[in-house]
Amino acid sequence: MRKRVAIGLAVLAVAVVGVYVLSPPRRGTVEYHKEQFLDAHYSGQVAQWIVPRGPRALRVAYFRRKEEQINVHRGALIGLGYLGERVFVISNRPSWEVENALRFRMDAVFTAVAPHVNFAAVIESGTNSVRVVAPVNEMQKWDDMIRKLDVPGEGGH
């Protein structure tokens, strides 16, 4: 009798673990927001090839909605501590030059590290600054790259 109860409890434990592992991430977790961010990001990329045939107002609304979804989930990932947001002060070159160089190099440098997961983004450049959102563990790479790009004649184009 005890043997049957033990086997039954073991089967139940395996089933519970299986359901937990195979279930989608819970709403509000880092994994949930990463999944939703990537969904919005990649479906927007795919739609660039499909949606252009529709009316302009529909295309604009569609891509605006995708951008809102990306921003919501990016904000949640910042709030949860997975992503960091940092403003880098640029002092030796125009910030737009540094921003353009970052955007140009971003795909090559960061997608080589994680080809299917690119949460990093150069959000904007100001008069003498560049705002970057990236995974917290990659922020030092951004700092190093921006410092190199801020030196005239060395890190630029």
pLDDT given at position 3 = 79
Instruction: Count CB neighbours of 87 within 10 A.
Output: 13
pTM: 0.66
pLDDT given at position 106 = 67
State yes or no: pLDDT of 17 exceeds 50. yes
Ramachandran area for residue 92 (φ above 0: left; ψ -120 to 50: alpha; else beta):
alpha
| Short-list 77, 100, 105, 80, CA closest to 90 | 100
C-beta separation of 89 from 131 below 8 A = no
What letter represents residue 153's amino acid?
G
Rounded average pLDDT over 77-103: 87
Q: Which residue has the higher pLDDT, 126 or 132?
A: 132
pLDDT given at position 116 = 45
Between CA 113 and CA 134 the distance in angstroms is 13
pLDDT given at position 76 = 92
pLDDT digits (tens, 9 = 90+) for 54-66: 677 877 888 888 8
C-beta separation of 114 from 121 below 8 A = no
Q: Which run of H or E residues covers position 14?
A: helix 2-22
Q: Which residue has the higher pLDDT, 113 or 36?
A: 36
